[in-house]
Amino acid sequence: MATRVSYPFELKLKAIEMRLEGVPVREVMEQLGIRNKTQLKVWMKWYREGDVHRLEQPVGKQYSYGKGPEHSSELEKLQAENRFLKQQLDLLKKYMELERRWNQKSLLLGSSLFEKKSR
């Protein structure tokens, strides 16, 4: 029988962050020592659906452990929400940076194409 692996909350967040940055699943698994790609997909699903609190649950307790954020203390709820909002902000910043770089590259390519045509 296979043994269950319990991954720390920080590792799960790092895996999600790497996937949001576009790192391939295989590379994330190799770098962080994650055994199963389905596990990574589940974490991403929970993140996208705003169920970040589920990342802190022990293995095999997804449906019984505290039954979600309503059983957390007010401080834990606020900390989880704060983490989620910071991740969303970081993602938006990365997107804006990528968009800025793409626009710069487009402008450079556009000017070099123009220069070649005028010759």
In this predicted model, what pLDDT tens digit does every residue of 91-117 receive, in sequence order? 889 889 988 888 888 887 775 555 555
Based on its alpha-carbon atoms, the radius of gyration of the chain, rounded to whole angstroms, reads 20
Domain range summary for the chain, segments of one domain joined by + = 9-118
Collapsing DSSP to helix, strand or coil, 62 comes out as: coil
- Per the CB < 8 A criterion, the answer to whether 34 and 65 are in contact is no
Of 82, 51, 85, the closest CA to residue 68 belongs to 51
pLDDT at 71: 59
Q: Is the pTM for the entire model greater than 0.85?
A: no
